[in-house]
Chains A and B, each alone.
Chain A
Amino acid sequence: MSEREICLSGTGVSKVFGFGNRKTVAVDNVDFNFYSGELVSIVGESGSGKTTLIKMLLGLTSVTEGEIQFLGKKRDIRTRSKKKEYWKDIQAIFQDPFSSYNIFSKIDSVLLDCIHMRGGRMLPKAKKIEMMEEACRFVNLKYAEMTNKYPFELSGGQMQRLMIARIFLLRPKILLADEPTSMIDACSRATILDMLLNLRNETGMTIIFITHDMGLAYYISDTVYIMERGKIVEFGSADEVILNPQADYTKRLLSDVPKIHEPWEFSKRNQTPPPQTPVEA
């Protein structure tokens, strides 16, 4: 374990909204270590501070207390230019694909921007198109169909896949995925999850996956963090946490998830069929 490189870590990270007696502690003194190439899931109910934590990691909100370390050094994003530099290494996919795009720019320019951001501004046009085609192929979209379209002409699943194509071009060190599959149906969910796994395997990216779905977290992740009311109550490898939970909160969450091998106590699946009473003549 020790030879693995720590990619992103935090000590005593807190976020407090408001002050005085109107204070809300959204994230409460959490410590975490995310190793490079790891797929981490942060699981919690709504209001547990998952999204606030992600926003702090992205640098979209300030950290009230504590320190975030990036690649072993203290993270420095105090100026605009440093922030831009930081965002080359850390990128995000959000929950709602419909609000993630600029509705005025075409899909080509969405992808072109990514190439430009990686310093490919001076590349010949043919090379740029080749790169865009490769990215589209990676996410099973046809580049020829994508050109000259606006993002809102795509379906939710296609938009989310296009988002992954962006990440494929940008090659950040860390990808933060904030419930990317909660707004699309179960079938396209499988495709998106497979793509994220492929992305991790191909580029060695660290993926931090936020979800409230235990089944999904168990399937996709190496390490699982469970958050309750701003605190991390349990963490460990997926098998440890999901199959052998220690914290009461994790146990409760797991008992509330609908399962197919051990149904809920009141489910009809537990009832034996009523004995057939012979019809009285």
Chain B
Amino acid sequence: MSKIMLEVNGLTTKYITRYNESVYAVNDVSFQVEEGKSVGIAGESGCGKSTLALSLMGYYFPPLHYTKGDIIIDGRNISGMDPDDVRKNILGTEIAYIPQAAMNALNPTRKVIRFIEDVIWAHDPKISKKDIHDLARERFETLNLPEDTLNKYPVELSGGMKQRTVISISTILSPKVLIADEPSSALDVTSQKMVIKMIHDLMELGYIKSMIFITHELPLLYNVTDDIMVMYAGQIVERGSADQMIFDPIHPYSKGLMGSILVPEDGTRDVKITAIPGTPPNLKKPPDGCRFAERCQYVKSQCRVQNMELAGLGNGRTSRCMMSEEELREAYKNE
């Protein structure tokens, strides 16, 4: 059993709207990520994927508020810490975050090397400029980025290059956990592959110890991560290895998601893609019982009453459903 890098226990965060209503976008989420492993998070839009990513950083700004739960990075609990403390000691060194439109974060009037100086000096102002330049040059070389990128302005770089530059800047302090929130969704397929290759290299070279990768593109997730978690209405509904989740999902919601995969491969054309009918529940007033009950084909009367916990299925798989694995498999077979 390898070391656990990130442990999340019962994390709950909420948005407070201007009418003072609470929207629990992340509700009682618990999971662990081991050293050297990557976990993907999948789900529809609005199911809380990005909010979970933001919450994991331990740095909250309105309208997002921390409610309860623990975030433990390599044995150190960061939940409930002072925001300035988090900013100084956690972000960048323990946990790094790449947002969706990361490439727009670069100030067009400053050269790339200036951002790297900023990041390093924010944590340790005593490091000399030369050391920073050496570190940056070495890091860029190992990641196959041209060295002259450092002395360029962001506008001189293409979209894919910008994204790769941002990733290398945010991981320059070798964080223990990298949270990538759709890092490649704005790019075309070729640059996407290069970005993913770079993230893969970062993991291989040990610059980052573990990763959480968020996307709604399931074939991509299959290629990147070890494990896949499926989120629905602020809760995790199923977790398993990438192979298990793509080819053999157990929870009815995961099953529905996997029905919408489109890949250019022989034989996939004859399989009709399916969508899950209906829309996710309003999180201001989440329904009692199973949150997916409203849209589930296999719903029983009990589902609407009894709250379900994530239950282990063996092999490291967990699922949040009333029906047992055998019952669900039987139901899928009869379709």
Residues of A within 8 A of B (CB): 45-46, 155-156, 184-191, 193-194, 212-219, 238-239, 242-243, 252-254, 256-264, 266-269
- Chain B residues whose CB sits within 8 angstroms of the CB of A218 once the complex forms: 262-264, 268-269
- Contact of B192 with A by CB under 8 A: yes
On whether the beta carbons of A186 and B217 are closer than 8 Å, the reply is yes
Q: Which residue of B lies closest to A214 (CB)?
A: B264
B4 CB to closest chain A CB (Å) equals 18
On whether the beta carbons of B217 and A258 are closer than 8 Å, the reply is yes
On whether the beta carbons of B264 and A267 are closer than 8 Å, the reply is no
Known: A257-B189, A260-B219. A266 touches B275 (CB 8 A): no
- Contact of B152 with A by CB under 8 A: no
Known: A219-B273, A268-B226. A212 touches B188 (CB 8 A): yes
- Contact of B193 with A by CB under 8 A: yes
Q: Which residue, B192, B223, B225, has most C-beta atoms of chain A within 10 A? A: B223
Known: A45-B190, A186-B257. A242 touches B264 (CB 8 A): yes
- Contact of B243 with A by CB under 8 A: yes
On whether the beta carbons of B222 and A252 are closer than 8 Å, the reply is no
On whether the beta carbons of B189 and A45 are closer than 8 Å, the reply is yes
Give complex CA distance A193, B44 in Å. Answer: 17
A41 CB to closest chain B CB (Å) equals 11
Interface pairs A-B: 4 shortest CB-CB: A215-B262, A190-B275, A214-B264, A258-B219
Extra pairs beyond A193-B273, A217-B264, A261-B263 (5, CB < 8 Å)? A190-B259, A215-B261, A259-B265, A263-B222, A269-B243
- Contact of B307 with A by CB under 8 A: no
Known: A219-B262, A258-B219. A185 touches B44 (CB 8 A): yes
On whether the beta carbons of B218 and A212 are closer than 8 Å, the reply is no
- Contact of B246 with A by CB under 8 A: yes
- Chain A residues whose CB sits within 8 angstroms of the CB of B188 once the complex forms: 45-46, 212
- Contact of B101 with A by CB under 8 A: no
B146 CB to closest chain A CB (Å) equals 20
A96 CB to closest chain B CB (Å) equals 13
- Contact of B127 with A by CB under 8 A: no
Give complex CA distance A263, B200 in Å. Answer: 14
Chain B contact residue count (CB 8 A cutoff): 42
- Contact of B212 with A by CB under 8 A: no
On whether the beta carbons of B189 and A188 are closer than 8 Å, the reply is no
Contact with A along B232-249 (1 / 0, CB 8 A): 000000000011001100
On whether the beta carbons of B262 and A185 are closer than 8 Å, the reply is no
On whether the beta carbons of A256 and B192 are closer than 8 Å, the reply is yes
Find B223's partner among A46, A155, A269 (CB 8 Å cutoff).
A269
- Chain A residues whose CB sits within 8 angstroms of the CB of B260 once the complex forms: 186-187, 189-190
Give 23 A-B contacts (CB < 8 Å), ordered by A residue. Answer: A45-B189, A46-B188, A155-B279, A185-B45, A186-B216, A186-B262, A187-B44, A187-B257, A189-B260, A189-B262, A193-B273, A194-B275, A215-B219, A215-B262, A217-B264, A218-B268, A218-B269, A258-B193, A260-B222, A266-B197, A267-B223, A268-B226, A269-B222
- Contact of B205 with A by CB under 8 A: no
Q: Which residue of B lies closest to A253 (CB)?
A: B189
Find A269's partner among B242, B273, B279 (CB 8 Å cutoff).
B242
On whether the beta carbons of B268 and A215 are closer than 8 Å, the reply is yes
Q: Which residue of B lies closest to A45 (CB)?
A: B188
Q: Which residue of A lies closest to B187 (CB)?
A: A46
- Contact of B310 with A by CB under 8 A: no
On whether the beta carbons of A258 and B190 are closer than 8 Å, the reply is no
On whether the beta carbons of B223 and A264 are closer than 8 Å, the reply is yes
On whether the beta carbons of A215 and B222 are closer than 8 Å, the reply is no
- Contact of B266 with A by CB under 8 A: yes
- Contact of B296 with A by CB under 8 A: no
Give complex CA distance A260, B225 in Å. Answer: 13
Give complex CA distance A191, B277 in Å. Answer: 9
Q: Which residue of A lies closest to B37 (CB)?
A: A268
B167 CB to closest chain A CB (Å) equals 16
- Chain A residues whose CB sits within 8 angstroms of the CB of B247 once the complex forms: 260
Give complex CA distance A258, B269 in Å. Answer: 16
On whether the beta carbons of A184 and B45 are closer than 8 Å, the reply is yes
- Chain A residues whose CB sits within 8 angstroms of the CB of B276 once the complex forms: 187
On whether the beta carbons of B269 and A238 are closer than 8 Å, the reply is yes
Give complex CA distance A81, B118 in Å. Answer: 59
On whether the beta carbons of B264 and A254 are closer than 8 Å, the reply is yes
B185 CB to closest chain A CB (Å) equals 9
Q: Which residue of B lies closest to A265 (CB)?
A: B197
Q: Which residue of B lies closest to A264 (CB)?
A: B223
On whether the beta carbons of B263 and A266 are closer than 8 Å, the reply is no
Give complex CA distance A235, B159 in Å. Answer: 28
Q: Which residue of A lies closest to B188 (CB)?
A: A45
